[in-house]
Structures are given as C-alpha cells and as structure tokens.
Amino acid sequence: MRGRRILLVGQGCLTAALLGYLLSTVDIRRVGTTAANADLLLLLAGIIQLSVLFFLVALRWQLVACALGGALPYPAALRFVWIGAFFSQLLPGSAGGDVVRMWLYWVRCGSRRLSIHSVALERLLMVTVLLLLVLAIQPGLAARGAPLTIVFSVVVVLTGIVAGLAVLLFSGRLLVAYDKWLPIRMLSMVAGDMRDLFSNIPRTAMLCMLSVAGHLNMVIAAWFIAHALGLGISLADCIVLIPVIVLAATLPISVGGWGVRESAAISLFGLVGVSSSDALALSVLLGLASVAVAIPGSILWLIRDRHSESDMARWSATEPVD
C-alpha cells in the first residue's frame, strides 16, 4: 500500500513537472488565443468521433470474453468500458480504468480468472496492434525527420511481447508439468486462455481490425480538432504522428497521460512545422475532449447498482467463482 502511494505521488509530481515545464517554455497567450478561436462544429465533430472508440473497445472486449468461455452482453461491456474510461482520466495511464473494468466484470460474472484475463488480453492486443502500426508508419516518421530511437524502442518492446506470447503459447505441456507452483499455475491458465483466444483465425483477424479501427478513430478525431484550430495539418501527418503520441500517453507514468502526451505532441508536430504553442493547444484540447466523452462514465458508475440484478440473472450460466 505504501509503495502504491509513493508511485501515485511520483506520477502526480511527474505530471505537474512536465506540464509546468511546457507552460514555461511556450507562449501561453498564443495557446489561449488558438484554443479560443477554434471552430466549434469541427471541435464537436472531434468529440463525437472520440466517443466512437468506446463502442469499438466494448465490441473487442466482448469478443475476447466470449472466446474465453464467458458471457458479456454488449450493453454491459459498453457500460463498463465507459466507466473505466472515466477512471482512466483520474488514475495513472489507462491501467486504473482497466482495474475498474476487471472489478465490475468480476462482481457480475463471479469469475476472477475471466474478468482479469479478458481485460488484460484485450489491452495486450490493443497495445500490440498499436506497436505494429507505429512500426508500419516508420517510413513516414523517417521522412518527417523523427528520431530513430522511436522505431528502435518500438522494435525492442514488440520483440519482447512477441517472444513472451510465443513462450506462453508453445510451452503448455511444460507449464502443466510444474503446475504445483502457484505462479506456474497462473501462467498456465493465461497460456490456455491465449490459445483459446488466438486459435480461431477469423476471430483474431476481427480483433485486430477492431484495434486498427480504434486507432484510426483517434487519428480522425485529432484531425478534426487540428482543423478546428486552423492548423492545416494533413490527414497523412495525423496518421503518421498520432499513433506515436497515443503510445506515449498510454505509458502508466503520468495521470491520465497528461504531460507525456503534450511533450510528445510538441516534439512530433514540430517536425511538420507546427509551433510549440499550437501543438500544445491541440494536445490540450484532445485531452479535454477525452475527458468530456468520459464524463458519462461517472453517471453510469453512480447508477451501476440498478443494473446488478438484471446482469446477474442474464449471466447466471457463467462459470462459477474461482
């Protein structure tokens, strides 16, 4: 508990330090002027576009849960995703929102394994596809003068993920042989769920397409907001740069991705001629838009108990508590 508090304080301090540094190095007056002159219709279009992401994530999570033998009705998945998105704005990275999702699903379905593994595998799939996208757009990054350390870091992380997945997928018999040890038994269950999830090629392809659609949805939303600010950033620039910014904001080192996202936006959009002030305005509005679309999750959280009885009746056939 003490370590968790120290981590939270550290992440809060890092967020404040990054934002403070950025605000001290840019023209705040210009940031305010750029944001104040935003086209409200295009800004609204960006906010609406962002909200589409919840529907895609809910469908992806539902497919994962069903592949693992669980029951997760789409309306419930959408509610839990929206609630998780709200808590992601308050807690470090997106991990806090994922933990809330796990808890909500656990309370309803009664399966600890299913709740934890379904969310973890859905999140792992999202990050893996994002890393693949960043790797695929490497020529575009190089053409815009992005540092090679970005691609090198992505290759290292992606190689580690692929290697870890391969070990889990193809070491089933070895893990079963040593399943008397709790850590090995847990790894064995994860490996079994991964095989169940990825053994169906059409389903895996659908999950990957939903992940790509989610990332492209973020790109389009950012493009709308950029045009609302009159920045004139091309859609091609957003396709190349936004995935890297999203990847940076996903790191669980700051509160809600604030500070990290802005630093990445200033560095990367500077490569295409956008000033630091304008890039900061874009990133801040993108962050505020994310907060705006997540606010309904707070309402769903407050009325969550109204759905408890219907959820339990609907999922009475799920696996027993484990």
The residue ranges of every structural domain in the chain are 36-314
Per-residue pLDDT, 317: 46
**Measured CA angle at 42 (ends 49, 266), to 5 deg:** 85
Per-residue pLDDT, 260: 84
Per-residue pLDDT, 247: 86
Per-residue pLDDT, 256: 72
Per-residue pLDDT, 157: 77
Per-residue pLDDT, 183: 60
Between 74-88 and 95-109, two packed helices, what is the crossing angle to 10 degrees?
150
Per-residue pLDDT, 79: 95
Tokens matching residue 206: 């659908």
Tokens matching residue 57: 């994530």
Amino acid at 319: E
Weakly modelled stretches of the chain, pLDDT under 50: 317-321
Per-residue pLDDT, 15: 76
